[in-house]
Amino acid sequence: MVAKLFSLLAASIIGLITRSGYLGIALLMGIESACIPLPSEVIMPFSGYLVFKGTLVLWIVALAGAVGCVLGSLLAYAVGAWGGRKLVERYGRYLLVSRRDLDLADRWFREHGSIIIFVGRLLPVVRTFISFPAGVARMPIWRFCLYTFLGSLIWCALLAWIGEKLGQHWDTLGNWFHRFDAVILAMLLIAFGLYVWRHVKHLREE
């Protein structure tokens, strides 16, 4: 069942990029960065494959992906900045988020904001969800955009470059990334279980 869902998702992503090119890349990466998990590990390598085929240009592919990441991240940032803390403080118990978590996020981004945003954009799972706490911590938006763009540009360029270099073996590459996504899903489920256990414990202590 999970394999079929991944196959359908990958087929939809590939179809959109094939039809819409750079705009499709920016749209998909924007959706991923708005905390809606889409596999950039499929989006960008397939875009690189189209570079190999001569349909797209590598640096424009990377730029489109990075711009999409910034736009999507700004949406998540806005939720955190203008409604996040107040909303989470009010309904935090239902969201399994405690005030202690928010205080930690504020301190985290106040001390290491720029580095965390930049490095986080290079991590497969973290990159999707890092914008929300940045907004809660009210990280300066110009710095947030700059480091989001730079980190995302490296990530998008790397994955697209891999797709281009392995273009003639795209079928094999697609299967590899498919298995990678399954591993990521399993890790997310485990992480979510630990998250629930930890936060329920903290909420009971408050």
195-205 confidence digits (pLDDT tens): 455 555 555 55
Tokens read off for 191: 């992480």
| Helices of type H across the chain | 2-20, 22-33, 40-52, 58-79, 85-95, 99-120, 126-129, 131-136, 141-165, 170-205
- pLDDT at residue 74 tops 80: yes
Distances (CA, A) of 56 to 14, 108, 138: 14, 39, 37
Positive or negative, the CA dihedral 188, 190, 193, 194 is negative
Three-state secondary structure call for residue 140:
coil
Tokens read off for 193: 């279980």
Looking at residue 37, the DSSP 8-state letter turns out to be -
Predicted TM-score of the model (pTM) = 0.71
Nearest to 160 by CA among 145, 143, 173: 173
7-66 confidence digits (pLDDT tens): 666 677 777 888 889 999 999 999 888 877 677 777 888 898 889 888 899 999 999 999
pLDDT at position 180: 47
